[in-house]
Amino acid sequence: MKNKTAILVLLLTFLVSVGTTLKAQSEILQKLHEIAIVDQKVMMPMRDGVRLATDIYRPKTGGPVPIIFSRTPYNFNTWQDGKESTRALETAYKMVEQGYAYVVQNERGRYFSEGEWDILGTPLTDGYDAFTWMKDQSWSNGKIGTLGCSSTAEWQMAVAALDHPSHAAMVPQGFGAGVGTVGKFQEQGNWYRGGAEQLLFFSWLYGVEHDKFKPRIPEGATQEDLIRISRFYDLGPENPPVDMLDALSHLPIQDILKNINGKKEIFDGMVTRKPNDPAWYKGGLYHDTMDFGVPSFWFASWYDVSISPNIALFNHVRKNASDASIRDNQYLVIAPTLHCAYTRATEDTRVGERSVGDARLNYEEQIMAWFDLWLKDAPNDFKAETPRVQYYTMGSNKWQSSEEWPPKNAKMTSYYLSSGGNANTLKGDGVLTTKVPKDNNTDSFTYDPMNPVMSYGGNVCCTGNAIKGGAFDQQVMEEREDILVYTTEPLKKGVEVSGFIETKLYVSSDAKDTDFTIKLIDVYPDGRAYNLDETIQRVRYREGYDKEVFMEDGKVYEVNLTPMATSNYFKEGHSIRVEISSSNFPRFARNLNTGGDNYNEKDGVIANNKIHHGKKQASEIRLPIVQ
DSSP sequence for 329-384: SEEEEEEEEETT-GGG--TT-EEBTEE-------HHHHHHHHHHHHHSSS--SHHH
- My answer on whether 401 and 414 are in the same domain is no
> In this model, does residue 11 exceed pLDDT 80?
no
Predicted confidence band of residue 17 (pLDDT cuts 50, 70, 90):
very low
Predicted confidence band of residue 121 (pLDDT cuts 50, 70, 90):
low
**pLDDT in the model for residue 16:** 43
Residue 126 near residue 108, CB atoms below 8 Å: yes
Predicted confidence band of residue 478 (pLDDT cuts 50, 70, 90):
very high
pLDDT digits (tens, 9 = 90+) for 567-576: 999 999 999 9
**pLDDT in the model for residue 7:** 43
- My answer on whether 609 and 527 are in the same domain is yes
**pLDDT in the model for residue 14:** 41
**pLDDT in the model for residue 30:** 85
- My answer on whether 132 and 41 are in the same domain is yes
Domain span including residue 303: 291-405
Range 354-359 average pLDDT = 97
Q: How many CB atoms lie within 10 A of CB 182?
A: 25
- My answer on whether 471 and 398 are in the same domain is no
pLDDT digits (tens, 9 = 90+) for 548-560: 999 999 899 999 9
Q: Which residues are catalytic?
A: 150, 304, 339
Predicted confidence band of residue 53 (pLDDT cuts 50, 70, 90):
very high
**pLDDT in the model for residue 129:** 97
- My answer on whether 545 and 611 are in the same domain is yes
Average pLDDT over all residues of the chain: 93
Please state, in angstroms and rounded to a whole number, the distance separating the CA atoms of residues 626 and 494.
11
3-state secondary structure of 620: strand
- Is the bond leading into 241 cis (omega within 30 degrees of zero)? no
Domain termination residue (choose one: 94, 117, 149): 149
- My answer on whether 502 and 551 are in the same domain is yes
- My answer on whether 611 and 516 are in the same domain is yes
- My answer on whether 505 and 584 are in the same domain is yes
- Answer yes or no: is 248 within a domain: no
CATH code, 313: 3.40.50.1820
Please state, in angstroms and rounded to a whole number, the distance separating the CA atoms of residues 117 and 281.
17
> At residue 50, what is the residue type?
V
Please work out, in degrees rounded to the nearest 5, the angle formed at the alpha carbon of residue 450 by the alpha carbons of 446 and 453: 65
**pLDDT in the model for residue 398:** 98
> In this model, does residue 92 exceed pLDDT 80?
yes
HSE (side-chain half, CA atoms, 13 Å) at 280? 24
- My answer on whether 393 and 419 are in the same domain is no
- My answer on whether 68 and 130 are in the same domain is yes
- My answer on whether 470 and 367 are in the same domain is no
